[in-house]
Structure 1
Amino acid sequence: MQTLTKVLSLDGQCQWTAHFERCLSEAEQLGCKGLDQGQLSALSGRVMSVFGGMGSFNDYAPFRSGRLIRGMESLDAISGQVYASALSLRVTGART
């Protein structure tokens, strides 16, 4: 998530930067206090909540004056990694 926040900060008008910075701060605090599955699942939910649906982070287009903002070339890959990492924090329960 740290890499994602750095990339998003290249766009001073990005509405999503603050959300991911808050999630990153929460993750860092959890790491210092010790990990509790309930807290990890809640963090996962907050991260994943902005992916999908109309007007979501998935719709974010880092363009200025019709051109991709320099440094944003890897945004899709980085955001995909963040989503996958958030998903891996969740407990899915035992299979029968």
Structure 2
Amino acid sequence: MKRETLLNKLILDLAEMIALLGKDPSCRWAKKFESDLIAAKSVALSPIDPNAYASLSASIRSVYGGVGSFNDYVAGCYDPDTGRYTPFEWSDRLDQLSTTVFDGALALVASQTK
């Protein structure tokens, strides 16, 4: 797939993920991904620059993995009485998008070698 096509899909996926994250007022990750969305739109409007694609990819992927990372975010409401989280109705879609966004960011870098 062409790099520009990958970037446009990533922009759409980021926008949808931000919209879902925005439904949780306690989520701190929406602002981070909003920053990445702005950067992605800027890259899309600029002449093709492999370094810009690589930088965007690295920025997105940097929040996945490790203690306190986006992978630790639970899209749900905590019940202190039971000690459990009740997932939001959109949590499954967020899980899908989370994987899609990571894979999309990785594909931006992989597309440079083709």
Match among 9, 24, 27 for residue 40 of structure 2: 27
Please give the TM-score of this superposition, normalised by the length of structure 2. Answer: 0.75
Shift of 1:12: 1.3
How many residues align? The count is: 94
**CA contact 2:53–2:108 (8 Å) conserved in 1:** yes
Taking the aligned partners of 2:30 and 2:48, their CA distance within structure 1 comes to 25
- Between 1:63-72 and 1:27-36, the stretch displaced more is 63-72
Alpha-carbon distance in structure 1 between the residues aligned to 2:91 and 2:51: 33
Q: Which residue of 1 aligns with 2:98?
A: 79
Q: Return the letter of the residue paired with 1:28.
A: K
Q: Which consecutive segments of 4 or more residues in structure 1 shift more than 4 A?
A: 91-94
RMSD across aligned positions (CA): 1.7
**1:56-67 matched pairs, under 5 angstroms:** 56-65=69-78, 66-67=85-86
Work out whether residues 76 and 91 of structure 2, in 8 Å CA contact, stay in contact via their aligned partners in 1.
no
CA contact (8 A) 2:39 2:56 kept: yes
Identical residues among aligned pairs (%):
30
The CA deviation at 1:71 is 2.3
Say if 2:109 is the partner of 1:90.
yes
Larger helix percent: 2
TM-score (norm 1): 0.88
Deviates more, 1:4-13 or 1:45-54: 4-13
Contact 1:5 1:17 in 2 (8 A): yes
Aligned residue in 1 for 2:8: none
Q: Which ranges in structure 2 are unaligned for 5 or more consecutive residues?
A: 1-13, 79-84
Q: Which runs of 5+ in 1 are unaligned?
A: none
